[in-house]
Amino acid sequence: MNKFTSFLAPLIEAYVSYQKASEHWNDASYEPNLLLFDRYCKKQHPQAGILSQEMVDEWCRKRDTETNNSCRSRIYVVASFIQYLRKRGKTDVLEPHIPRKERRMYIPHSFTNSELANFFCACDSLPSVNLTPEQRSRRITIPVFFRLLYSSGIRTNEARMLRVEDVDLLHGVLNIRYSKGHAQHYVVLHDSMLELMKKYDVAIRKQYPNRTYFFPARGDTFHKRNWVQKNFRELWDKYNHSHATAYEFRHHYAIENINSWTDEGFGFDAKLLYLSKSMGHKTLESTKYYYSLVPGMADILEEKTGLDFENIVPEVDYEEGEK
């Protein structure tokens, strides 16, 4: 049974296939919102045979209950779909206006050494007897997956969708193809993480000898977002009482790197560039968000460079998110 049922179904399915082939598809975000648009078209315009500007404007109009960011998330895939149709001469409908992104004032959890030790102890203490194939896979995957997030700063979706072919275990380099904004970048693994990845690869191959994804799920696919959330919550809560999320390992990685610069009389530009590229930021300025989380960073920058904070790093919108 087809997921899409409106008059647009054939065009939507072609668009989805194109995006997946281009590795620009996000199941967790794009598919649900495109399904909602499809259902809207079917319910509100049951007799329609072609897409109209009225349909698009009505659906994409910002609702009273929405923030700019939630509206952006809902309509982004519709705008992309219309752009796809326009480039192929299949519609004259204009793409909707996407609201300006609002800066988020979110302060991520600050991990303590004790909390981290507790969490990884829980990861390493999963049951080892009378396991199903899925449980065996989980037992060897969990400790490696979360240590990769912690040690590399990659996004949770980048880790979930990491392909075997994009993990260079000889040189210790990850090729991140699926990323926010679709910007390919490379991440160099710490030596200890590389050794752990090698051991994991040998172990998981016994269960999934021809796997596509480095962290495989049943059916030769990747783990879904809920898998990350559920496992992190279970293992974090086993010994810790604070609230945290797996995605906050990325924030922790950035902040720990920035903190390590303060005693080195650092070459600021070079270190900023390395961190920005490793984390897959589209611009250097996008890394500014993390400076606000490091106590005294503005004063430290001025002391080290002779320039005030705003001259070094101009104001930008915060671009992060899971995903």
Interatomic CA distance for residues 116 and 220, integer angstroms: 31
**Contact (Cβ atoms closer than 8 angstroms) between residue 254 and residue 111:** no
Pairing state between β 173-176 and 185-188:
antiparallel
The pLDDT of residue 307 is 45
The pLDDT of residue 103 is 67
Q: Which residue type sits at 62?
A: K
The pLDDT of residue 321 is 44
262-265 CB contacts, 8 Å cutoff, 24+ apart: 262/300, 265/304
Q: Which residues of 281-315 are buried (b: 16+ CB within 10 A; e: fewer)?
A: beebbbbbbbbebbeebbebbeebeeeebeebbee
Q: What is the phi/psi pair of residue 67, to 5°?
A: -90, 170
Interatomic CA distance for residues 78 and 58, integer angstroms: 12
Interatomic CA distance for residues 67 and 71, integer angstroms: 6
Interatomic CA distance for residues 299 and 10, integer angstroms: 57
Question: Which sign, positive or negative, has the C-alpha torsion 113, 117, 123, 124?
Answer: positive
Could you list the mean pLDDT of each consecutive 10-residue stretch along the chain, which spans 323 residues? 86 93 77 93 94 95 90 92 95 92 72 96 91 91 97 91 95 80 77 97 95 94 94 97 93 78 57 65 58 54 48 40 44
Rg (CA), the chain: 22
Question: Which sign, positive or negative, has the C-alpha torsion 202, 206, 212, 216?
Answer: negative
The pLDDT of residue 310 is 44
Query: Within 10 A of 66 (CB to CB), how many other CB atoms are there?
Result: 15
254 in the Ramachandran plot: left (φ > 0), alpha (ψ -120 to 50) or beta?
alpha
Residue 59: Cβ-neighbour burial (10 angstroms; 0-12, 13-18, 19+): middle
The pLDDT of residue 21 is 85
**161 DSSP assignment:** T
CA dihedral angle for residue 114, residue 277, residue 216, residue 116, rounded to 10 degrees: 0
Interatomic CA distance for residues 78 and 94, integer angstroms: 11
Q: What is the phi/psi pair of residue 91, to 5°?
A: -160, 155
What SS3 state is found at 179? coil
Q: Rounded to two decimals, what is the model's pTM?
A: 0.66
